[in-house]
Amino acid sequence: MRVVDLIDKKKRGNSLSNEEIDYLLDNYLLGNISDYQMSAYLMAVYFKGMEADELSYFTLKMKDSGDTIAFTEIDRYLVDKHSTGGVGDKVTVILGPLLSALGMATTKLSGKGLGHTGGTIDKFESIKNFKFSNTREELVKIANSTGVGLMGYSDKIVPLDKKLYALRDVTATVDSIPLIASSIMSKKLAIQSDLIILDVKVGDGAFMKTIEDARKLSKTMVGIGNSLGRKTVAILTNMDEPLGTEVGNSNEIIEGIEALKGNWNDDVKEVVYNIAYIALKEKGQVTSFEEAENIIDEVVASGKALETFKNFLKESGADENIVNDYSLLPTPQNTISVYSEKEGYVSKIKAEDIGKSAMVIGAGRATKEDEIDHAVGLTLYKKVGDKISLGEKIAEIHYNDDKNIKSSKDLLLKSYIIENGNIEKKSNVLEIIY
């Protein structure tokens, strides 16, 4: 078997057999196949795609390239929720304790943010002394006691994905739907769960800009998961404006805590409740959204979800008193208000520009080596559909270093699209794919 023949076969739009995929991926991981040959194969996939069975086996092979984690000690319905990344996306902060309070458990790998999107690890690392699980034993221990298990990505889990992604990043093959799907799903399948819920963001601030692309990616990932015996559901959610009103790290933790206290922003609530509904439905506990909504309302109102979050903080080495004393979180030295230069109704808030506005003051990374300032961020006072007057405050920028404050302000003002006439606000949940 020769690599050049496999490249040629894929170049012509033909599927590789399981044996051919074994040969290609095993030898690449061992270093027996050069980067230039694998680059040629990835480009062939970019243009010719993969058949469903071929992609499922390719993903399974990636998953089996490293360690897998099982939770035989945890007697709960296990849910792994993944987000494709967005601006102001603090869903995991809220959902983990909420699902635990509902009698389930979350077990997932979380990542750091890059560019205009924020990462779950960055948010939790804004909490002093918070320690992510780094080993299976730590993950199982915390998940067993709190129902919330979050682990940073490990080189031992799906090492083939890390190697392939580095190559895709420099060969313009990142935006290949089969390669995106296999990358995400190989990591999801490496961690035991009863249900995978994929929150696929759609719009200006998302990787998937159109509903058509998001739908295609979602159906591909759902197909992989279900074909490999893991129940998988995708929920397409709107990212044509940031989620919630806080963008940053410590301030998103605060917004998450407030939600667990019952103080929700409507768009955050809609997304979280729908994901929780999917989990309750797939578990067999409810048959309708209304039934799930009543159960979730009760769990939040009782304080059980907040208590679970406090317990998770304590077990992770952090101070649980943060939920009642936000001064224990990193606090910015300065705040500047931003005022509208137009009047009318907010028709859109360009989430990508909002993300960049936060990034340039230190809330995000332009490169992997950049340091995060966990204290800084933005507070948005106007959302899509809101009426706005000339000179009315639309946002605040919380910062420590004023070096890029003008750039941040300009990006923020640019992000607000204001038009005449009432704007009909669309649902934040666009579609659910089973």
The pairs formed by 364-373 with CB atoms below 8 angstroms and a separation of 24 or more are 364/113, 364/114, 364/115, 364/116, 364/117, 364/118, 365/112, 365/113, 365/114, 365/115, 366/115, 367/114, 368/114, 372/122, 372/125, 372/249, 373/330, 373/400, 373/401
Q: In angstroms, rounded to a whole number, what is the distance separating the alpha carbons of residues 272 and 305?
A: 13
Ramachandran class of 284: left when φ > 0, alpha when ψ lies in -120 to 50, beta otherwise:
left
Per the CB < 8 A criterion, the answer to whether 420 and 371 are in contact is no
Catalytic residue among 80, 89, 122, 161: 161
The catalytic residue among 168, 201, 356, 382 is: 168
Angstrom distance (rounded) from CA 196 to CA 233? 6
Annotation marks residue 110 as catalytic: no
161 is catalytic: yes
Question: Exactly one of 116, 187, 269, 350 is catalytic; which is it?
Answer: 187
Q: Kindly tell me the burial class for residue 372, based on how many C-beta atoms sit within 10 Å of its own C-beta (0-12, 13-18, 19 or more).
A: buried
Residue with tokens 């035991």: 192
- For 244, other C-beta atoms within 10 Å of its C-beta total 28
What is the distance between the alpha carbons of residues 356 and 425, in angstroms, rounded to a whole number?
24
User: H/E element holding 168?
Assistant: helix 159-169
**Marked catalytic residue, from 154, 183, 218, 316:** 183
Q: How many CB atoms lie within 10 A of CB 284?
A: 8
For residues 182 and 59, the answer to whether their CB atoms sit within 8 Å is yes
Please tell me which residue in 63, 82, 90, 350 is annotated as part of the active site. Answer: 82
Determine what percent of the chain falls in helix, strand and coil, rounding each to the nearest 5. 45, 20, 35
CA 364 to each of CA 125, 216, 247, 339: distance values in angstroms, whole numbers, following the listed order: 13, 29, 10, 23
Report, as residue numbers or ranges, the catalytic residues.
82, 161, 168, 183, 187
